[in-house]
Amino acid sequence: MTCSILVGGAWGDEGKGKCITYLCDNDKPDIIARAGVGPNAGHSVEFNGEKYGLRLTPSGFVHTDAKLMIGAGVLVNPDVLFDEFEKLKKYNIKERMSVDPRCAIITEEHMSRDKASEHLAKKIGSTGSGCGPANSDRVLRTIGLAKDSPVLEDYITDVSVAVNEAIDNGEEVFIEGSQGFALSLYYGTYPFVTSKDTTASTFAADVGVGPTKVDEVINVFKSYISRVGEGPFPTEMTQEEAESKGLEEYGVVTGRRRRIGYFDMELAKESCRINGATQIALTCVDRLFDCARVQDYDQLSAETKAFIEDIQTETGVPVTIISTGPDLKDTIDLRKELL
């Protein structure tokens, strides 16, 4: 069995939610652990004809036999979590969820501070969810933790112990990262970044797993690229060009329009190197090429295959998952052939 980490390859919005849902629905992990910043990241999940926008619940929730966990490095807003319990009631999220006692808690005061910095929000693309101020307070060691929150009392579990015991017992563990590599506080386009590191190494630390226990790092890239807020964007196209290509997008959490650009190979190479990627999942291929709902690699056009092979050659990492549509079955899975 394996411990896998999924990472956003660029500025977020790469289609991680669909990839996570597909992998968890097919591989049936025993534990799905959420890593990353907190509820400022939105993951879109489409399953059985229904769409969900998630901010804290692991996107792999559709695999109903898995335990769901939120690692110590993740900021938790209990109101967001309980709202998702209600929205996802038929999946028994509440009964399956565990929160590490060391998670820091976002309060109304954090959100007020975030929203008060409107000039900063516009500049760096802050969602107003309170994550920046909360992480600031965490660094200053003035924030409350989940273990001291009465409303979370029934959900407290040492996630690091649970995950490591599962790995040692030969169980399957899947760690969900959020946002994207290029938003990393260390490796992103500073200062237009999020409030912590967003690489695979930190995602492992978020749930208390050492690097020697990680088997696979799956880097997710969209076939084009997008970002929210200001900051460098070398391959950006005009909004008019994006519209002409049918590539308009809006954020899950904020509803803001995303900036659109062409695939950035230099960014992809850096992302794969720093994350230590062992696989690439490539999404939205159908939005660039005429291959909607194709499920067989041999049925892709020569142009599409050349694009995929170029990514593999330049990054040195195999493209094992190719998404050709929003439905889970609209996926080409090459892991058996390439790994």
Q: Is 110 an active-site residue?
A: no
Q: Do the strands 319-323 and 331-333 form a parallel or antiparallel pair, or are they unpaired?
A: antiparallel
| CB distance 273 to 249 below 8 Å | no
Set out the domains of the chain in order of their start, with CATH numbers: 3-338 (3.40.440.10)
Within 10 angstroms of residue 224's Cβ, the number of other Cβ atoms is: 22
In single-letter form, the type of residue at position 157 comes to T
At residue 325, φ and ψ (nearest 5 deg) are 170, 170
Catalytic residue selected from 13, 30, 197, 286: 13
Which token pair is 188? 């992103």
Within 10 angstroms of residue 225's Cβ, the number of other Cβ atoms is: 27
Task: Give the three-state DSSP class for 101.
Answer: coil
pTM (2 decimals)? 0.94
Catalytic residue selected from 30, 43, 206, 330: 43
Which token pair is 56? 């804290």
| CB distance 163 to 208 below 8 Å | yes
Integer Cα distance of 144 and 103 in angstroms: 9
Per-residue pLDDT of the chain (339 residues; tens, 9 = 90+): 799 999 999 999 899 989 999 999 999 999 999 999 999 877 778 888 888 889 999 999 999 999 999 999 999 999 999 999 999 999 999 999 999 999 999 999 999 998 877 555 555 556 678 999 999 999 999 999 999 999 999 999 999 999 999 999 999 999 999 999 999 999 999 999 999 999 999 999 999 999 999 999 999 999 999 998 889 999 999 999 999 999 988 776 667 788 999 999 999 999 999 999 999 999 999 999 999 999 999 999 999 999 999 999 999 999 999 999 988 899 999 999 998
Which H or E run contains 304?
helix 302-315
Phi-psi bin for 97: left (phi > 0), alpha (psi -120 to 50), beta? beta
Which token pair is 256? 């803001």
Q: Is 13 an active-site residue?
A: yes
Task: Give the three-state DSSP class for 97.
Answer: strand
